[in-house]
């Protein structure tokens, strides 16, 4: 058997040398991921830039408390409507027209009870420094009457006040205001309720008609509202930056990050929030293109 193997070996070697090598192609092509965004991705990025513009305008509106579609008192009032009852503290100082604290002045608060048409009220007296404080009030709109007895008259200075609701993790909302009561001469110029009287005992200056659109509110609440506006503008700019970045390097992840951030810019009537959610969903439908690897 060994001799037969040795005899066949030269023959096989000759066959290998004489037979040409054959190669077959499978048609497979090496590809790499396209570094550019799919046209659908570019359209989504442009859509996100529009959404970011809506969010920026929303923040600009918040940062302009004296005008715009939404004002600080409207924002705080909406929060107050859903706040728990008896979660507000109202305190402040009563001053006269010269800037001196009024001691012994009566602070009379009245408001409509939630869900009913019943008027509730509570009163307190200012201390030595003209200070007063009320606890366990329900956030929302109230009427504050400052009653000062002087020169044989009872002068009533009325204002419309918006009590702040609890904010963030605080269980209590705080409202602090200073009331500057007009001079006795200013009250003397007001007409009496009875036209036959020339020197009425009760004199009143009522500021509530002029405060129907913009009631008095805690200054810190207005400052917080403005800070929220700057926060919206900042998020909108960051989201726009991610969107532009994704256009440059073709990253769907950056595009998705931009969409997620744009949701929190809210927008007027939650427009940026709704459209941002739509854009976020669209990022999952963007196909990933691959291009052939060439020399």
User: Per residue of the chain (295 residues), what is the pLDDT tens digit?
Assistant: 455 545 555 655 655 565 565 555 666 666 656 677 888 999 999 999 999 999 999 999 988 877 778 788 888 898 898 899 999 999 999 999 999 999 999 999 999 988 787 899 999 999 999 999 999 999 999 999 999 998 888 999 999 999 999 987 788 999 999 999 999 999 988 888 776 676 788 899 999 999 998 899 999 888 888 899 999 999 999 999 999 999 998 889 999 999 999 999 988 888 999 999 999 999 999 887 666 666 5
The H or E element containing residue 55 is helix 39-62
Q: Where in the chain is the domain with CATH 2.60.40.10?
A: 83-213
For residue 27, the model assigns a pLDDT of 65
For residue 70, the model assigns a pLDDT of 77
Q: Round to whole Å and give the CA distance between 86 and 80.
A: 11
- Paired tokens of 265: 């810019």
Cβ atoms of residues 201 and 155 within 8 Å: no
* Closest to 43 measured CA to CA, from 283, 284, 205, 291: 283
pTM confidence score: 0.72
Q: Round to whole Å and give the CA distance between 271 and 125.
A: 48
SS3 162: strand
Q: Please state whether beta strands 31-33 and 173-180 pair in parallel, antiparallel, or not at all (unpaired).
A: unpaired
For residue 53, the model assigns a pLDDT of 95
DSSP 38: P
For residue 63, the model assigns a pLDDT of 87
Alpha-carbon distances, residue 111 vs 82, 202, 215 (angstroms): 17, 22, 14
For residue 33, the model assigns a pLDDT of 65
For residue 37, the model assigns a pLDDT of 83
Handedness of CA 133, 138, 142, 147 (dihedral sign): negative
- Structural domain 83-213, CATH architecture: Sandwich (2.60)
């Amino acid at each position: 058997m060994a001799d037969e193997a040795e005899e066949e070996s030269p023959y096989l070697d000759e066959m290998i040398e004489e037979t040409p090598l054959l190669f077959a192609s499978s048609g497979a092509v090496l590809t790499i991921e396209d570094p550019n965004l799919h046209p659908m991705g570019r359209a989504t990025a442009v859509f996100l830039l529009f959404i970011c513009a809506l969010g920026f305008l929303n923040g600009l509106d918040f940062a302009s408390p004296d005008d715009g579609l939404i004002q600080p008192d409207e924002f705080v009032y909406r929060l107050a409507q859903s706040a728990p009852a008896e979660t507000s503290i109202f305190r402040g100082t009563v001053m006269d027209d010269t800037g001196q604290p009024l001691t012994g002045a009566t602070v009379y608060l009245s408001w409509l009870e939630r869900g009913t048409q019943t008027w509730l009220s509570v009163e307190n007296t200012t201390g030595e420094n003209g200070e007063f404080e009320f606890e366990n009030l329900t956030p929302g709109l109230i009427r504050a009457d400052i009653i000062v007895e002087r020169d044989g008259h009872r002068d009533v200075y009325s204002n419309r006040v918006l009590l702040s609701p609890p904010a963030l993790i605080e269980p209590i909302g705080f409202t602090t205001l200073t009331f500057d009561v007009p001079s006795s001469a200013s009250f003397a110029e007001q007409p009496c309720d009875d036209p036959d009287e020339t020197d009425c005992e009760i004199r009143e200056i009522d500021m509530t008609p002029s405060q129907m659109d913009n009631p008095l509110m805690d200054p810190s609440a207005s400052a917080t509202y403005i800070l929220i506006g700057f926060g919206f503008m900042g998020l909108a700019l960051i989201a726009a930056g991610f969107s532009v970045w994704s256009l440059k390097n073709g990253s769907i992840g950056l595009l998705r990050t931009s969409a997620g951030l744009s949701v929190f810019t809210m927008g007027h009537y939650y427009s940026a929030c709704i459209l941002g959610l739509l854009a976020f969903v669209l990022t999952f439908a963007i196909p990933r293109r691959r291009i052939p690897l060439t020399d």
